[in-house]
Amino acid sequence: MERYQDKVVLITGAGDVAEAAAKRLLCEGAKVAFSDFSQEALDAAISGLKAEGWDGERLMGIKCDVRKYEECEAAVNAVLARWGQIDTLVATAGIIRHCPIDEMTEAQWQDVVDINLTGVFHAVKSVVPSMKERKYGHIVVISSIGGRTGRPGVGVNYAATKAGVNGLVMCLGYELGPWQITVNSVAPGPLKGKMFAGMTQDRIESLSAGIRLQRMGELSDVAAAIAYLGSDDAAWTTGEVLDVNGGLQY
């Protein structure tokens, strides 16, 4: 089933979740543009996908710092110039700076807020005009279980931004509905990303404790949720936060 045939997807970020989402969407027929502040990350994501056999003509990389609205706007314009439309935005760009609040610096607070929350605002704001013009679009934002409930090892900066994007999503679902633009978020639990390989067994067991399905999540689990919410299968779903956490919290 190719739900994304003739569709164009812009993904902010080029990390684990972004790559997994891109693979899933490419499988379903999409053209995919990555935007990231790191040229190295962009090159790695695109070269990795090409090495797996994906057509480079369906891939695009744009250097973009989501902290700067003008760069987000330029990224959107670059995609529109090449492919003429953006059907789905997937906002994955984010950072982690976990530490206790009494040890957290102003810079650690602000860096996370600027990228995880203001960066989402910039990405969405930049793509909405073209979606409004077409009266069509899907926006998927990556939140976290850390924005839904207290979690060990989750800093207040990260938790606040992820809770903030959930609020943004609920508000925008209401605001953008008349233009047939859906806005939803995915809130993953603990995932087997690149950092997983370096974790101690004690850390893995701590993260996994309480997961009713008795395993940590795969990146493909989150990619499947993104693919659903970013497609026309979810055309009547908006303003929702989809928890993908194996029953750890709901």
C-alpha span between 250 and 49 (Å, rounded): 34
Neighbours of 4 (CB within 10 A): 23
Starting at the edge strand found earlier in the chain, the sheet holding 31-36 runs 59-63, 31-36, 8-12, 88-91, 137-142, 181-188, 241-244
The structure tokens 């439309």 sit at 85
C-alpha span between 143 and 168 (Å, rounded): 11
For residue 195, the model assigns a pLDDT of 58
Contact 145, 188 (CB under 8 A): yes
C-alpha span between 41 and 36 (Å, rounded): 7
Whether the pLDDT of residue 101 is over 70: the answer is yes
For residue 47, the model assigns a pLDDT of 96
Model pLDDT for residues 143-174, shown as the tens digit of each residue? 999 999 887 778 999 999 999 999 999 999 99
Q: Of the given ranges (95-99, 139-143, 192-196), which has the lowest mean pLDDT?
A: 192-196
Q: How confident is the model at residue 202 (pLDDT cuts 50, 70, 90)?
A: confident
For domain 8-243, give its CATH number from 3.40.50.720, 3.30.530.20, 3.90.1330.10, 3.30.830.10: 3.40.50.720
Model pLDDT for residues 24-76, shown as the tens digit of each residue? 999 999 999 999 999 999 999 999 999 999 999 999 999 999 999 999 999 99
Percent of the chain residues topping a pLDDT of 90: 85
Pairing of strands 31-36, 8-12: parallel
Residue ranges per domain, the chain? 8-243
Contact 93, 117 (CB under 8 A): no
Contact 162, 241 (CB under 8 A): no
Residue type, 75: A
For residue 197, the model assigns a pLDDT of 64
Global pTM? Answer: 0.95
Distances (CA, A) of 101 to 77, 153, 162: 39, 11, 17
Active site (catalytic) residues: 158
Contact 137, 127 (CB under 8 A): yes
Contact 78, 62 (CB under 8 A): yes
Contact 122, 114 (CB under 8 A): no
Tokens of 40: 């190295």
For residue 123, the model assigns a pLDDT of 98
Q: What is the mean pLDDT of residues 21-25?
A: 98
